[in-house]
Amino acid sequence: MLEGVAKNGVEEGVVDGVDVVHAPGEGDDTVAAIAAEADTEVIVVTADRGLSQRVRRSGVEVFGPNWLLDRLPPP
């Protein structure tokens, strides 16, 4: 999910197996809505405690940024 200036230059869609979504407003609201409405498994990666609590209420698994970084190939 991208919001604000981060949306520039990156189109919505699937990129290398990752769904890219542009938030129309607040990014946290978009992430929480997608997590709550998803009919497939969703994993949220965030360091934001408030967002973590919101999405966990929807039964979504939340991991911190290091979890994702540890799974990415080296540059």
> How distant, in Å, are the alpha carbons of 10, 19, 41, 66 from that of 71?
22, 17, 18, 9
Average pLDDT over residues 54-72: 93
**7-11, 33-37, 61-65: the lowest-pLDDT one:** 7-11
| Interval 15-53: pLDDT, tens | 888 889 999 989 999 999 999 998 888 899 999 999 999
Q: In the structure encoding, which two tokens stand for residue 44, read together?
A: 């949220």
Q: What is the pTM of this model?
A: 0.78
Only one residue has tokens 């992430």, namely 31
d(CA 30, CA 21): 9
